[in-house]
């Protein structure tokens, strides 16, 4: 093998500029016992925790390149469930930021998540129309509920009725499911438009749902008991609800919203007292569900006001509780922009906190005091707004010392610290920024606007010191001259203008410090719109990319025509010239990058580089290697000498708009439609092209499942597992088959020779430990799918080993039971028809029943022994353990703090 050229790898440093994604929701989270201060939001493929008080990011949860679509904190605030666009649900520990488990639940994006009251079960809804209930403790799926015919919009557990899930969908239906029977026992079909949200209020007394109109439907939920069954009128309830449903759900009325448009979100606090909703306008409406005592007080007060003579005919109806008695409208919260999502938190002192995310990439926290009876004014506590651009960044540039990054968006220019990725300055440009460039010295930035204006921005005060009407249309490109004494701009008005830097006296007169200005020197008039301008490093040529798909090269000194580069099928959007002025690269909307020679204008190579329009190309300083980005979101590194792709970097979730390479060549920054700025740095790790290409091929192979997407079993056409087939499940099935084969060979040899290398790698001394180790290393959520992929002869081998495993490894009884029960359930017919397996099955039943009985006895003995020890300790010490003692200590500490506070106040008064 000959010598291969080695390259240095670029690795991602971080992504910044994004505060909160518009696609996912926001949620309060408790950290270090501080409630109402921290919020968790999605930021493209990451999950961020923000401290609203100091406006800083305090935690970050990462998985892969997939976008976060929904998130939910557990009731005890210890876990965070995150749903992704590939249908996977990841469970993180909030304190350690580590992933506990992942559930491969859905075949498309997750659209809803909710925990049960204790946080032991998790229900998720997806755009694949399915609901999946997962067991957090067992770390695997329990059941898949299918019945909706459109994407799920919301799902939640009922508190008063165990194992009941309520779901809403765009198919206009609300369904009630029983997890044990895995069936829908009640469906509400009252709505004619999509149901966008449901929420259970006041301990499941009310079900509120929001649709495409301006009303919220309210349903009253009452338990069905023996006393209430005879009251049901046959004409009103034709179905026998008492035999199927444990409760009765009747329409109680509707709440008229003040806002316009459809209901987007319905959110309730943890106790179900306060309901918040918002539509397509700029306000959040709040409703308080009164307690039973308050509702009765309002009813008696209303009855006193009624005229008994006039209301005699309606007296029975008027004496019943109405929605106006049970629901109270609170002060609406006006917002500066359209709300994307929000969350509620009701404090112990009746302070309501509402945290909102907006489409314009900022977060705001509002507070409302519910103790104020009338005209309670909402207050804005904190806002996260300066940490990112309100809209997508369209252009980026590096300073000459590689320490600062400038990024421009539709309304502002921001300067970032490359080391800490924090905002240094924010400058309001008053227009759409399409090009940026640092002036030598890094004290000023040139900004080109879509209106054709050229702004000179002073970095130190963060102000626009001059606004020049440079072009009549868009100013697409600004580039410095090689001597650093001026710049050249190209615009949509078919002109290229040459400028020189001048220092002029400031507004304070002759004694004032001089400020930078631009002096117009020359103009090159062309026939088509100028999309990009570049100048060769030797100062001899200027290249201009035009809308007619050509690139024209002129002599810099005389502006005479030199060469025309034609060959692209669509306009050239971007280009760059190498450091030695020998090569020019052009990126076009036809998805190709062409490498040309500057001496004769010949095309060295045409590369089909991306799957969409190439938006930016740039050479790495002092090399013939360059980076490119495109609307397919990918960043790629190329070698212009060998015409080979070096590496593909993890790019943006949407389009990539621009990139910039630092003057020292160590850093690359890009911006895209996912509102992130992504920073990469060059490491000392060498890259060999053959190895990189092999890794990319493996990734492509791993991304496609070898056994197909569907989980099919002969004889079970309607099998609906609460999981989907993944690469992990395929690898798990391969490991089981390999384990069975190695174990069989080892046992045929007598089991006395040296251990097989695979058994040695798993640290197993015998075949039984080897099999159990392989089974236990398969992820719990992938175990069923792995067992489903096994052929029947492997299932028979596995079942034959179970009796010996059960008697020798009683510590793994739970895992063995799970495997055996699933195999029996899936392969019931062939197992029953196989007479050879009959003695094996009888042996399995005997041994497993004995092992489970021993395990149950041990757990019961330990539980009651612990209870006995607790009682003895309580009798000896005279105190109550655990929760009661903790409550008493907390109350005692509160009383002590109140006494100390009152003493301090008295002392201050005496002074």
* CATH classification of the domain holding 602: 2.130.10.10
Q: Which of 345, 362, 171 is nearest to 354 (CA)?
A: 345
What is the C-alpha separation between 11 and 649, in angstroms, rounded?
8
SS3 110: strand
| Same-domain pairing of 625 and 751 | no
| Same-domain pairing of 586 and 444 | yes
Residue 710's contacts (CB-CB under 8 Å, 6 or more residues apart) are 725
Place of tokens 């559930």: 103
**904 forms bridges with which residues in the sheet?**
none
Is 357 contained in some domain?
Answer: no
Is 207 contained in some domain?
Answer: no
**425 forms bridges with which residues in the sheet?**
415
| Same-domain pairing of 622 and 734 | no
SS3 476: strand
| Same-domain pairing of 620 and 742 | no
What angle in degrees, to the nearest 10, is found between the helix axes of 838-877 and 792-808?
A: 40
Q: What is the pLDDT of residues 851-896, one digit of tens each?
A: 999 999 999 999 999 999 988 887 887 666 555 556 677 777 777 7
Count how many domains the chain has: 3
Query: Are the beta carbons of 366 and 328 closer than 8 angstroms?
Result: no
Domain membership of residue 147 as a residue range = 63-189
Is 231 contained in some domain?
Answer: no
Is 625 contained in some domain?
Answer: yes
Q: What is the pLDDT of residues 36-95, one digit of tens each?
A: 899 999 998 999 999 999 999 999 999 888 999 999 999 999 999 999 999 999 999 999
| Same-domain pairing of 451 and 581 | yes
Domain stops at, among 584, 600, 630: 630
Structure tokens at 853: 């009985």
| Same-domain pairing of 617 and 744 | no
| Same-domain pairing of 757 and 618 | no
Domain stops at, among 630, 661, 688: 630
What is the C-alpha separation between 884 and 872, in angstroms, rounded?
16
What is the C-alpha separation between 109 and 576, in angstroms, rounded?
39
Is 586 contained in some domain?
Answer: yes
What is the C-alpha separation between 444 and 462, in angstroms, rounded?
9
| Same-domain pairing of 588 and 467 | yes
Q: Radius of gyration (Cα) for the chain, nearest Å?
A: 34
Q: Which of 501, 490, 508 is nearest to 435 (CA)?
A: 490
Residue 145's contacts (CB-CB under 8 Å, 6 or more residues apart) are 130, 131, 132, 133, 165, 167, 177, 182, 184
Question: DSSP label at 781?
Answer: G
**How much is the pLDDT for 687?**
87
Is 132 contained in some domain?
Answer: yes
Q: What is the 3-state secondary structure (H, E, C) of 783-814?
A: HHHHHHCCCHHHHHHHHHHHHHHHHHCHHHHH
**How much is the pLDDT for 631?**
94
| Same-domain pairing of 751 and 624 | no
| Same-domain pairing of 481 and 614 | yes
| Same-domain pairing of 414 and 519 | yes
**How much is the pLDDT for 905?**
41
**How much is the pLDDT for 239?**
47
**How much is the pLDDT for 880?**
60
Is 79 contained in some domain?
Answer: yes
**How much is the pLDDT for 826?**
87
Domain stops at, among 815, 835, 855: 835
Residue 639's contacts (CB-CB under 8 Å, 6 or more residues apart) are 5, 7, 624, 625, 646
| Same-domain pairing of 574 and 428 | yes
Given a cut of 70, the residues of the chain with pLDDT beneath it are 1-4, 226-243, 307-319, 373, 507-512, 706-718, 878-887, 900-911
Is 824 contained in some domain?
Answer: yes
Burial of 500 (0-12, 13-18, 19+ CB in 10 A): middle
Q: Which of 359, 308, 311, 352 is nearest to 328 (CA)?
A: 352
Place of tokens 């103009």: 523
């Amino acid at each position: 093998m000959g010598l291969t050229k080695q390259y240095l790898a670029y690795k991602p440093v971080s992504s910044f500029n994004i505060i909160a994604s518009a696609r996912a929701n926001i949620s309060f989270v408790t950290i270090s016992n501080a409630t109402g201060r921290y919020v968790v939001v999605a930021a493209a493929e990451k999950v961020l925790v923000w401290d609203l008080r100091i406006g800083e990011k305090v935690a970050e949860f990462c998985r892969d390149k997939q976008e976060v679509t929904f998130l939910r904190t557990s009731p005890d605030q210890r876990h965070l469930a995150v749903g992704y666009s590939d249908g996977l649900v990841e469970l993180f520990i909030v304190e350690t930021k580590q992933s506990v488990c992942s559930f491969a639940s859905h075949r498309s994006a997750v659209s809803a998540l909710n925990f049960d009251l204790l946080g032991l079960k998790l229900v998720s809804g997806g755009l694949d129309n399915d609901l999946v209930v997962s067991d957090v403790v067992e770390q695997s799926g329990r059941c898949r509920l299918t019945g909706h015919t459109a994407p799920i919009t919301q799902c939640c557990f009922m508190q008063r009725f165990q194992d009941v899930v309520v779901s809403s969908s765009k198919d206009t239906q609300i369904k009630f499911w029983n997890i044990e029977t895995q069936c829908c026992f009640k469906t509400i079909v009252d709505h004619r438009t999509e149901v966008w949200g449901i929420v259970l209020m006041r301990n499941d007394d009310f079900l509120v749902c929001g649709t495409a109109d301006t009303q919220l439907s309210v349903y009253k939920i009452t338990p069905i008991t023996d006393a209430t069954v005879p009251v049901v009128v046959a004409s009103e309830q034709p179905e026998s609800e008492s035999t199927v449903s444990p409760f009765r759900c009747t329409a109680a009325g509707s709440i008229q919203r003040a806002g316009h448009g459809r209901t987007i979100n319905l959110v309730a606090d943890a106790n179900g007292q306060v309901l918040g909703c918002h539509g397509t306008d700029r306000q959040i409406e709040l409703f308080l569900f009164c307690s039973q005592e308050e509702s009765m007080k309002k009813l008696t007060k209303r009855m006193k006001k009624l005229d008994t003579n006039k209301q005699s005919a309606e007296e029975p109806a008027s004496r019943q509780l109405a929605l106006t008695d049970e629901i109270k409208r609170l002060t609406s919260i006006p917002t500066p922009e359209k709300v994307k999502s929000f969350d509620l938190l009701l404090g112990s002192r009746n302070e309501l906190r509402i945290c909102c995310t907006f489409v314009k990439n900022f977060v705001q926290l509002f507070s409302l005091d519910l103790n104020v009876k009338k005209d309670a004014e909402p207050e804005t506590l904190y806002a996260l707004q300066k940490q990112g651009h309100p809209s997508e960044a369209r252009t980026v540039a590096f300073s000459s010392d590689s320490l600062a990054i400038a990024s421009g968006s539709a309304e502002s220019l921001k300067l970032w610290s490359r080391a800490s990725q924090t905002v240094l300055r924010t400058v309001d440009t008053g227009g759409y920024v399409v090009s940026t460039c640092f002036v030598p010295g890094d004290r000023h930035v040139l900004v080109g606007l879509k209106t054709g204006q050229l702004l000179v921005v002073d970095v130190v005060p963060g102000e626009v010191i001059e606004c020049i009407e440079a072009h009549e249309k868009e100013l697409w490109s600004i580039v410095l001259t090689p001597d650093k004494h001026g710049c050249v701009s190209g615009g949509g008005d078919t002109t290229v203008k040459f400028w020189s830097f001048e220092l002029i006296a400031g507004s304070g007169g002759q004694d004032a410090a001089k400020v930078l200005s631009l002096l117009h020197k020359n103009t090159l008039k062309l026939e088509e719109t100028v999309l990009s301008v570049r100048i060769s490093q030797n100062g001899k040529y200027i290249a201009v990319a035009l809308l007619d798909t050509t690139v024209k090269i002129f002599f810099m000194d005389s502006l005479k025509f030199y060469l025309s580069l034609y060959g692209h099928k669509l306009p050239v959007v971007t280009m760059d010239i190498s450091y030695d002025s020998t090569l020019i690269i052009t990126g076009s909307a036809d998805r190709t990058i062409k490498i040309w020679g500057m001496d004769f204008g010949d095309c060295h190579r045409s590369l089909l580089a991306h799957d969409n329009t190439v938006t930016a190309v740039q050479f790495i300083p002092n090399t013939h290697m360059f980076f490119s980005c495109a609307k397919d979101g990918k960043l790629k590194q190329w070698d212009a000498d060998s015409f080979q792709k070096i590496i593909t970097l993890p790019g943006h979730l949407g389009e990539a708009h621009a990139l910039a390479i630092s003057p020292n060549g160590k850093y690359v920054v890009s911006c895209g439609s996912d509102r992130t700025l992504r920073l990469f740095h060059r490491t000392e790790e060498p890259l060999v092209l053959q190895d990189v290409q092999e890794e990319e091929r493996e990734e492509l192979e791993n991304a496609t499942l070898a056994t197909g997407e569907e989980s099919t079993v002969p004889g079970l056409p309607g099998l609906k597992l609460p999981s989907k087939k993944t690469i992990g499940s395929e690898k798990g099935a391969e490991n089981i088959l390999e384990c069975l084969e190695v174990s069989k060979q080892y046992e045929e040899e007598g089991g006395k020779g040296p251990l097989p290398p695979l058994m040695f790698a798993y640290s197993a001394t015998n075949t039984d430990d080897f099999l159990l180790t392989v089974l236990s290393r398969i992820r719990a959520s992938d175990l069923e799918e792995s067992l489903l992929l096994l052929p029947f002869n492997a299932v028979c081998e596995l079942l034959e080993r179970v009796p010996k495993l059960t008697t020798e490894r009683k510590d793994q009884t739970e895992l063995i039971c799970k495997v055996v029960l699933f195999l029996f359930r899936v392969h019931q017919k062939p197992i029953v028809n196989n007479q050879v397996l009959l003695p094996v099955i009888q042996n399995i039943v005997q041994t497993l029943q004995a092992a489970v009985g021993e395990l149950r006895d041990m757990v019961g003995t330990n539980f009651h022994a612990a209870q006995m020890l607790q009682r003895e300790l309580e009798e000896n010490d005279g105190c109550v353990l655990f929760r009661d003692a903790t409550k008493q200590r907390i109350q005692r500490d509160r009383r002590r703090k109140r006494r100390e506070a009152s003493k301090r106040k008295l002392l201050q008064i005496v002074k």
